[in-house]
């Protein structure tokens, strides 16, 4: 039977830019999956279309009508379907009726012997589904189940019928090959035409005579690039080409999120260059960049030294012969926003961070936790504790730094641009002649703000960031403000992962459990263990995101380690060790040791009495342990965890012989205790880097 490509396009009023691509992809996938379920296609082969005004799909090689198929249906055991006289029972007649068959269908049944009993099967023909009959329901189902956060309700032209969708639907295009598929959906009948660009289209109506011609016709006649990714690539390429015309030393800021959003705003992009007055470059460039990107959707242009220039890229949706009006209009729009930023900046400089910090008492952090001033003092105490543990002595007034770090919360600039907390504080600190490390710490204590973000630049920033994140976690957990489900209003997950990243990736040796135990309020200690589990869960996720296996992660983070500074080196060593042939046997042996010791009640005297080592196998194991433990200890001191684990391979044969020949639970209590102590020592050595028993399930 002949196959043709199927085109469906839903034309709407302007779709929400931030969800347009997702809606298009979800619609295309749902349509194609439904057609596959009806066996009208063999594979999920399709193309997705989405623009500000439309979502669509081209499904490849679709049958108009599916093939008739014969299936054998199991009905019931023969003893239930036939009576003693071998005639059909009421149960069998009712079952046949439910399948649309009458009693004569008993002539087509077959008895099959299965598992010691005879079962009744019926061979039945199923007529293939017809695309014309099914497509309306498929489209309705797909549109109804799109991931739409907020629906609109609107009335159709009849004035009575109400339809719910993300935006009002204006046209439904449905073409199979070169033939219109007649259907009704969202109160509209399908057609074989659509509408092009509001201003660039060559015709009022774009006729689609063949599904395969849709994309080319929309480009050549409709003035629309219907493929999201092709439109995005054109914007990116044209943008870079336009900037290079300014000069080889210039480049636009590459912002993937902004690029995606701009692609969702235009159907036929036109790249233009705008400019603003040089005077605004005196304002911190982060403010100007944020204004251009967030408010106006412009791409700022930097020079080869990373400094902002007074040029920016405009992505327009129209292509007039004279583009000067578009450029001047955008320049006119951006000017007041830059002037506002300049005004806020000048007003802020009339004050100092010290003056702002005194007013932190007026900002409530949380009604159960006091003000931002109270919070800063808690951060300062944590910093002092951390500095002593790290043996840091740089004569910094931690209380002064913690207060200054939060001072810009009271600035006009942060009031207008909350995303610039810390960034603005750094600028103001430098202008007040604070040191670079002091100023950098103010900006960096919020880092990392997101996945892949940079970490603090230096040690002072590390300490402030660690203290700030620990204070946030302790304070909010202590009053029961824990994340629930997907809700995390205080960004505690982000704080925990940021804390883990700084400690692990910057190799900072701090006993996290000691800090939590020391600073967690004793009056609310019930939630302390929950906080530790919460951090451990984030650690596990952090390591899994680095493509380590679950077993490797469990080996190093099955129990929350005190120090995270060497966690990455240890899991790398575990990964390398797990590739050795001997690793599985050693892991299984370790698991066996764990199971034996779990039932053993130690009297805290774990010393091994050599005079009680009777059998040759336990003597050999003891000797091997003594030899390897010294070497393992040296390798661990040198942070050579791979070599430390490799040394365990030397224990494989003595361990195997021990378990083959030795009865651990000897009749003599003294010998039994001594053998348990030997296993305790073995367990310590085998778990010197990680709990390798977790690798036994790999």
Tell me if 497 sits within 8 A of 538, measured CB to CB.
Answer: yes
In order of 187, 377, 406, the CA distances from 371 in angstroms are 56, 10, 11
Q: Are residues 609 and 477 part of one domain?
A: no
Does residue 602 fall inside a structural domain? yes
DSSP secondary structure, 161-201, as one string:
-EEEESS-EEEEEEEETTEE---EETTEE-BSEE---TTT-
Q: What is the pLDDT of residue 16?
A: 95
Please report how many Cα atoms fall inside a 13 Å half-sphere around the Cα of residue 35, on the Cβ side: 32
Domain boundary among 548, 568, 588: 568
The confidence score (pLDDT) of residue 104 equals: 77
Instruction: Say yes or no: 110 and 157 in one domain.
Output: no
- Residue 3's DSSP bridge partners are 63
370 lies in the same domain as 487: yes
Residue 506 included in any domain = yes
Q: Does the predicted TM-score (pTM) go above 0.85?
A: no
With b for 16 or more beta-carbon neighbours within 10 A and e for fewer, the 279-310 pattern comes to ebbebbbbbbbbbbbeeebbbbbbeeeeebbb
Tracing tokens 């931002």 back to the chain, one arrives at 372
Are residues 279 and 334 located together in one domain of the fold?
Answer: yes
34 and 91 housed in the same domain: no
Q: Do 609 and 522 have their domain in common?
A: no
Residue pair 91/76 in contact by the 8 Å Cβ criterion:
yes
Domain of residue 376 covers: 353-568
Alpha-carbon span 319 to 552, nearest angstrom: 57
Phi–psi pair at 169, nearest 5 degrees: -85, 130
Q: Domain count for the chain, please give it.
A: 5
The answer to the question of residue 575 being in a domain is no
3-state helix/strand/coil string of 221-255: CCCCCCCHHHHHHHHHHHHHHHHHHHCCCEEECCC
Length of the chain: 698
Q: Are residues 48 and 196 in the same domain?
A: yes
Q: What is the pLDDT of residue 559?
A: 87
In a domain, 99, yes or no: yes
Residue 100: what pLDDT?
A: 79
Q: What is the pLDDT of residue 254?
A: 87
Two tokens, residue 281: 């470059």
**Within a domain: residue 650?**
yes
> Are 190 and 266 in a shared domain?
no
Among residues 328, 348, 368, the one where a domain terminates is 348
Measure the CA angle with vertex 414, ends 411 and 415; round to 5°.
80
Task: Tell me: do 265 and 400 sit in the same domain.
Answer: no
Model pLDDT, residue 528: 92
- 506 and 541, same domain (yes or no): yes
Residues of the chain predicted below pLDDT 70: 1, 126, 601-604, 697-698
- The strand pairing partners of 175, in sequence order, are 7, 180
Asked if 670 and 597 sit in the same domain, the reply is: yes
Looking at the domain assignment, is residue 250 inside a domain?
A: yes
Q: Does the bond joining 448 to the residue before it have cis omega, within 30 degrees of 0?
A: yes
Cα–Cα distance measured from residue 265 to residue 439, given in angstroms and rounded to the nearest whole number: 39
Q: What dihedral angle (degrees, nearest 10) is formed by the CA atoms of 649, 651, 653, 656?
A: -110
Q: Answer yes or no: is 574 within a domain.
A: no
- For 690, the token pair is 């990680």
Give the CATH number, domain containing residue 648: 1.10.730.10
Same domain, 77 and 37: no
pLDDT at 603: 65
């Amino acid at each position: 039977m002949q196959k043709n490509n199927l085109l469906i396009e839903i034309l709407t009023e302007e779709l929400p830019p931030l969800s347009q691509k997702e809606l298009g992809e979800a619609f295309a996938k749902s349509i194609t999956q439904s057609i596959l379920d009806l066996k009208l296609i063999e594979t999920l082969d399709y193309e997705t279309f989405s623009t500000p005004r439309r979502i669509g799909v081209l499904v490849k090689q679709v049958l108009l009508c599916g093939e008739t198929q014969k299936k054998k249906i199991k009905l019931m055991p023969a003893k239930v379907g036939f009576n003693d006289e071998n005639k059909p029972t009421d149960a069998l007649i009712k079952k046949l009726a439910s399948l649309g068959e009458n009693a004569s269908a008993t002539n087509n049944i077959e008895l099959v012997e299965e598992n010691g009993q005879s079962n009744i099967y019926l061979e039945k023909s199923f007529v293939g589904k017809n695309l014309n009959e099914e497509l309306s329901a498929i489209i309705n189902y797909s549109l109804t189940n799109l991931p739409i956060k907020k629906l609109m309700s609107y009335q159709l032209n009849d004035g009575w019928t109400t339809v719910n969708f993300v935006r009002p639907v204006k046209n439904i295009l449905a073409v199979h090959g070169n033939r219109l598929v007649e259907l009704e959906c969202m109160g509209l009948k399908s057609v074989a035409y659509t509408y092009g660009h509001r201003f660039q289209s060559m015709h009022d109506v774009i006729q689609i005579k063949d599904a395969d011609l849709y994309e080319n016709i929309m480009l050549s006649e409709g003035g629309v690039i219907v493929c999201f990714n092709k439109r995005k690539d054109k914007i990116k390429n044209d943008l870079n080409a336009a900037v290079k015309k300014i000069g080889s030393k210039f480049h636009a800021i590459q912002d993937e999120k902004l690029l995606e959003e701009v692609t969702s705003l235009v159907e036929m992009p036109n790249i233009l260059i705008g400019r603003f007055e040089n005077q605004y470059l005196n304002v911190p460039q982060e403010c100007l960049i944020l204004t251009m990107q967030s408010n106006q959707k412009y791409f700022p242009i930097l020079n080869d030294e990373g400094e902002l220039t007074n040029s920016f890229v405009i992505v327009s949706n129209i292509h007039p012969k004279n583009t000067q009006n578009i450029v001047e209009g955008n320049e006119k729009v951006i000017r007041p926003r830059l002037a506002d930023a300049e005004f806020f900046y000048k007003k802020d400089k009339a004050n100092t961070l010290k003056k702002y910090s005194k007013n932190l008492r007026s900002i409530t952090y949380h009604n159960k936790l006091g003000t931002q001033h109270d919070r800063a003092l808690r951060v300062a105490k944590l910093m002092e504790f951390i500095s002593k543990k790290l043996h840091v002595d740089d004569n910094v007034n931690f209380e002064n730094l913690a207060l200054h770090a939060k001072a810009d919360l009271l600035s006009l600039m942060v009031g207008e641009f909350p995303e610039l907390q810390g960034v603005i504080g750094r600028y103001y600190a430098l202008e007040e002649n604070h040191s670079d490390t002091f100023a950098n710490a103010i900006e960096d204590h919020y880092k990392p703000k997101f996945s892949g973000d940079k970490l603090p630049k230096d040690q002072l920033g590390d300490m402030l960031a660690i203290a700030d994140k620990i204070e946030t976690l302790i304070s909010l957990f202590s009053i029961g403000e824990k994340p629930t489900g997907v809700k995390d209003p205080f960004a505690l997950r982000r704080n925990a992962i940021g804390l883990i990243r700084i400690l692990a990736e910057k190799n900072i040796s701090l006993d996290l459990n000691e800090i939590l135990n020391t600073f967690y309020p004793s009056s609310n200690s019930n939630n302390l263990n929950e906080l530790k589990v919460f951090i451990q869960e984030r650690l596990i996720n952090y390591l899994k995101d680095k493509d380590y296996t679950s077993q490797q992660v469990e080996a190093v983070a099955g129990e929350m380690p005190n120090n995270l500074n060497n966690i990455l080196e240890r899991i790398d060593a575990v990964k390398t060790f797990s590739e050795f042939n001997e690793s599985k046997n050693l892991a299984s042996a370790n698991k066996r040791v764990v199971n034996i010791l779990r039932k053993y009640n130690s009297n805290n005297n774990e010393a091994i009495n050599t005079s009680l080592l009777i059998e040759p196998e336990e003597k050999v194991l003891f000797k091997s342990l003594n030899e390897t433990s010294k070497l393992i200890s040296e390798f661990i001191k040198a942070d050579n965890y791979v070599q430390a684990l490799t040394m365990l391979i030397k224990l494989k044969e003595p361990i195997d012989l021990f378990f083959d020949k030795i009865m651990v639970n000897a009749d003599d209590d003294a010998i039994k205790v001594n053998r348990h102590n030997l296993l305790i020592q073995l367990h310590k050595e085998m778990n010197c880097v990680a709990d390798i028993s977790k690798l036994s399930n790999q």
